[in-house]
Chains A and B, each alone.
Chain A
Amino acid sequence: MIEFRGVNKWFGALNVLKDITLSVEPREVVVVCGPSGSGKSTLIRCINGLEAIKDGDLLVDSQRLGDPATNMTQLRTEIGFVFQSFNLYPHKTALENVTLAPIHVRKIPRAEAEKAGRELLAKVGLADKVNAYPAQLSGGQQQRVAIARSLGMRPKIMLFDEPTSALDPEMISEVLDVMVAVAEEGMTMMVVTHEMGFARKVAQRVVFMDAGAIVESGNPNEFFSHPKTDRSRAFLSKILRH
């Protein structure tokens, strides 16, 4: 579904992605973790072309990114993306946030899109907030609307970029619960997060990155209990200490 083959990327002189080779199968859930600045956000932002790659190949849904034959806007409709800072449209209600792209990009009739939108908002537990504006919602609620917004496009892949990092602790679980539900429905997912509970519960694989490279990858239970490299041991001891 997603395949990196020797992908490199630089920001100026900084090699932010170093020879990344990674493949994600359909219905697979992969958690990406690592210290800040290790390139994990950049990694998933490349998948929907928010960042361009310098060299190597990146195939998404059998289409090669950067290939003139690949219609990027079309491909992006198949990829949901959830941001750390939600990025909801502040001038639109929760329902309008969810239906905007389906109506204008997918060209779904408004009535149909609204029906689907209400169902999605109900699914993320916000049936009573359809007409609320983002400013009227808590962080956790906003992020759940953002997930509903991405699901509204009926994507084949969902990408999450630190979806709970901007949330108060008591709101993290409500967002993770929704993500678990999405994963259990068989969605192909790549999730940048340090939430180990989530990783253990639904991820088939954890990828650990440091300084732009994939240092280690493996089964979540194995990775968290018996990290193989010094770097991952040092990292885990830091996030687990408290």
Chain B
Amino acid sequence: MLENFSFRTIVEYLPLFGQGLITTVWLSALSFAGALTVGIVLAAMNLQRGWLFRVPAKAYIDAVRATPLLAQLYFLYFGLPRLGLVLPELVVGIIALSLNSGAYVAEIIRAGILSIPRGQVEAGVASGMTYVQRIRLVILPQAFKVTIPPLLGQAIVLVKDSALLSLISVSELTRAGQLLASDRFMPAEGFLTIAAFYLLLYYCLKGLAALSGRWLGLQPARSST
């Protein structure tokens, strides 16, 4: 069985995989930055007491969570041009991933913020902090600590979801695997190789999350004095 497995072809196609990998990395990074932005805005809207912001945010989050990413992607890619808005496929892909992942990020951030004890808010209020100062200085730094693990999970999902962009002919990693599979009729080589690269990305993300935790000074101080 293994004698049919062509390592040589994989090596031959490595430059293509390399390009695909690089595209997957930067478009995922951009999309995740977009998702964080969308998520923070939605979470902020969703935490308001008045319905004016809360209801649209909830409706958006429900709509995104209830529908397949593929349907959302196809709507943006095929549907928007019919409505008069033509965007390059890469831009459509990044927008789709940002908008989709943003809904999940919003719920992660909301849960993180709600996990901060009421007393923390009161301490901020009592020292004369404004709403924005309380969020920035007291709530968010603590919420980040509890949200980093679920955000990492969401980042991993986003990287894997970016494979769907191969369906709108973005030359990312999965697209490279498809090309090898169809050019040489070697699906085993093609898709196993991209799987290995996705695994590599997964470990990179885990490492990054651990590092970011340290940069933010979130290592729990346990040593007693």
**What residues of chain A have their CB less than 8 Å away from a CB belonging to chain B?**
48-50, 73-74, 76-77, 79-81, 83, 85, 87-91, 100-101, 104-105, 129, 132-133, 135-136, 149-150, 153
Contacts and interface: CB of A to CB of B under 8 A. Distances in A.
A83 B122 CA distance: 9
Contacts of B145: 91
Interface stretch (B67-75, B91-99, B104-112, B215-223): B215-223
A159 to B, nearest CB: 8
Contacts of B127: 76-77, 81, 100-101, 105, 149-150, 153
B223 to A, nearest CB: 7
A79 B120 CA distance: 17
B122 A100 contact: no
Interface in B58-72: none
B125 A50 contact: yes
A101 B129 contact: yes
Given A48-B125, A91-B142, A135-B221, 11 more contacts: A50-B125, A74-B128, A83-B122, A85-B119, A87-B117, A87-B119, A87-B122, A89-B142, A90-B142, A129-B225, A136-B225
A132 B225 contact: yes
Contacts of B138: 89
A94 B119 CA distance: 17
Contacts of A91: 141-142, 145, 217-218
A133 B141 CA distance: 15
Contacts of A79: 126
Contacts of A74: 128
Contacts of B125: 48-50, 76
Contacts, number: 68
Interface string B126-163: 11111001000110011001000000000000000000
Interface residues of B, number: 25
B141 to A, nearest CB: 5
10 contacts: A73-B129, A76-B125, A91-B141, A101-B127, A104-B137, A132-B225, A135-B221, A136-B225, A150-B127, A153-B128
A136 B145 CA distance: 18
Nearest to A128: B225
B224 interface: yes
B221 A136 contact: yes
Contacts of B217: 91
A136 B224 CA distance: 5
B126 A135 contact: no
B87 interface: no
B123 interface: yes
Nearest to A84: B119
Contacts of B123: 83, 87-89
B221 A73 contact: no
Nearest to B220: A135
Contacts of A77: 127-128
A89 to B, nearest CB: 6
A129 B224 CA distance: 12
B126 A76 contact: yes
Given A73-B128, A74-B128, A89-B138, A104 B133 contact: yes
A150 B128 CA distance: 11
B119 A83 contact: yes
A77 B128 CA distance: 5
A88 B127 CA distance: 12
A76 B225 CA distance: 34
Among B133, B145, B223, B225: residue with most chain A CB under 10 A: B225
A214 B142 CA distance: 40
A78 B101 CA distance: 44
B221 A133 contact: yes
B119 A135 contact: no
Nearest to B223: A136
A105 B128 contact: yes
Nearest to A83: B119
Contacts of A104: 129, 133, 137
Contacts of A83: 119, 122-123, 126
Among A73, A91, A153: residue with most chain B CB under 10 A: A91
B199 to A, nearest CB: 33
